[in-house]
Amino acid sequence: MISLASCLSRVIVFVAVVAISTVLSHTWEEEGVVYGKINDTITLQCNGHNGSSLVEWKFNGSPDIPWGFFTNVRDLQLPNVEPSVMGNYTCHGQEGEQLSSVLLKVGHPPGIPSVTCRASDYHNFSCYWNPSMENVLPTRYITSYRVDKGVPEVCVQNPAVPNMCSVRFSKLWTLYRMNITEINPLGSNFRILDLYVQSIVKPDPPENLSVEPIPQAPRRLRVTWAYPPTWPQEPHFQLKFRIQYRPVLYMVWSVVETANLSDIITDAFVGVEHILQVGARDFLDAGTWSEWSPEARATPWTSEEISGSVPEIVNETTTEEPEPEFREPFADNGDPAEKVAVLISLGVFAFVVLALFLIAGAFIWMRVDRTVKYGGMKADFLTAIHMKALPKTQIL
């Protein structure tokens, strides 16, 4: 039943598109302009009358038209037309007077446009499209949508932004059926796209990315940023973020995620400039990640001793391979906070091991005590040992 309703809906849309394209086809009618399809045969008519059947055709003022021939009614026939035949054709009488003029334009009929939709927030979304092929013919687009099974509404196009339309005040958990119809003088074609707003959410990149060194911390960088201005900062619409960073000498990125508007990189290379970028996504993983923000650069804090021990960056044109010695200063000048963290971890580990030993000892003691309390195997076992130790004469 659902598939039948979907097919019926598409048939109705198709009929509506055909009706609209038929009405709009008249808007392409320009006096003296003829549109033709590439690889088709086109016949140009000489509409002027001079009382004679003898006429001469010229192409852009030249009588040499090797790709066409005259018919018996003074018309010019052009078989298998190519883009090179486009131009101005004029029909002349025997005395050279111009009888008619035709501007010929050839191209392709519309194909199915490629359409993608994106919501930069939960209240609005936009759809973008590209034509199926390059075309020199004038082209227009009809854009509309339906909410569930409602009536069609206009997807508003902005003349300043070509090939885009927008839907305002969109609803969550609601099916939108988009219709992007491409029309040119040779016909029309359309794309139907079903979507939910939460599935196309893609925030804009975060802004105001800032990176700065942390004093006395040669392996740390503090990173801060701000919400994209297009994302409403509402309690039920939160974003999470990810930071990618790398030293300028390396091509491999490290990535960390956070729900805050700041973070601290704890494994930066000492004395080396780093590149950082930040991206955003809906906190509940709806949609996709944003594009990366413009990059920012910073170098961790270095003292005079550390900066003097960092080796110079070898130029890429040198034949000798540089040695990665910039890690060595960290071994001698570690962060005190990191050392304290290591000591705390070791203490916790030792406490856990000791607790396990105590639990195991208590369990064994309880088993032995229960056996003694209720007699059982322990008493019999000791009696057997005692009798085995006596001489046989005493046992008998």
Note the pLDDT tens digit of each residue in 121-132: 999 999 999 988
What pLDDT sits at residue 354?
86
Closest CA to 131 of 116, 110, 117: 110
With beta carbons less than 8 A apart as the criterion, state whether 300 and 220 touch: yes
**What are phi and psi for residue 259, nearest 5 degrees?**
-100, 0
Q: State residue 319's pLDDT score.
A: 40
β-bridge mates for residue 281, sequence order: 240
Q: Which residues touch 233 (CB under 8 Å, ≥6 apart)?
A: 227
pTM for this structure? 0.63
The pLDDT tens digits of the residues spanning 14-73 come to: 444 444 444 444 457 677 899 999 999 999 988 876 666 778 889 998 888 888 877 767
State mean pLDDT over 79-100. 89
Question: Taken in order 231, 233, 237, 240, is the CA torsion positive or negative?
Answer: positive
Higher confidence at residue 272 or residue 314?
272
pLDDT above 70 as % of the chain: 74
Contact between 46 and 75 under an 8 Å Cβ cutoff? The reply is: yes
Enclosing H/E stretch for 212: strand 207-214
* Confidence class for position 75, pLDDT limits 50, 70, 90: confident
Cβ partners under 8 Å of residue 69, min gap 6: 76, 77
Tell me the two tokens of residue 61: 């003022």
Residue count of the chain, please give it. Answer: 396
Cβ-contact 179, 113 below 8 angstroms? no
Cβ contact 231:238 at 8 Å: no
Q: What is the pLDDT of residues 283-340, one digit of tens each?
A: 999 999 999 999 999 999 998 645 454 444 434 433 444 443 333 333 344 455 566 6
In whole angstroms, give the CA distance from residue 301 to residue 297.
Answer: 13
User: Mean per-residue pLDDT for 340-366?
Assistant: 81
Burial of 242 (0-12, 13-18, 19+ CB in 10 A): middle
- Answer whether 203's CB lies under 8 Å from 290's CB: yes
- The predicted model gives 127-144 an average pLDDT of 91
pLDDT score for 52: 67
CA dist 283 and 229 (Å) reads: 17
Confidence of residue 232 (pLDDT cuts 50, 70, 90): confident
The CB-side HSE value for 68 (13 A sphere, CA atoms) comes to: 26
Kindly give, in sequence order, each residue whose CB lies less than 8 Å from that of residue 33, ignoring residues fewer than 6 positions away. Answer: 102, 103, 105
pLDDT digits (tens, 9 = 90+) for 187-229: 999 999 999 999 999 999 999 999 999 999 999 999 999 999 9
Please say if the pLDDT value at position 276 is more than 90: yes
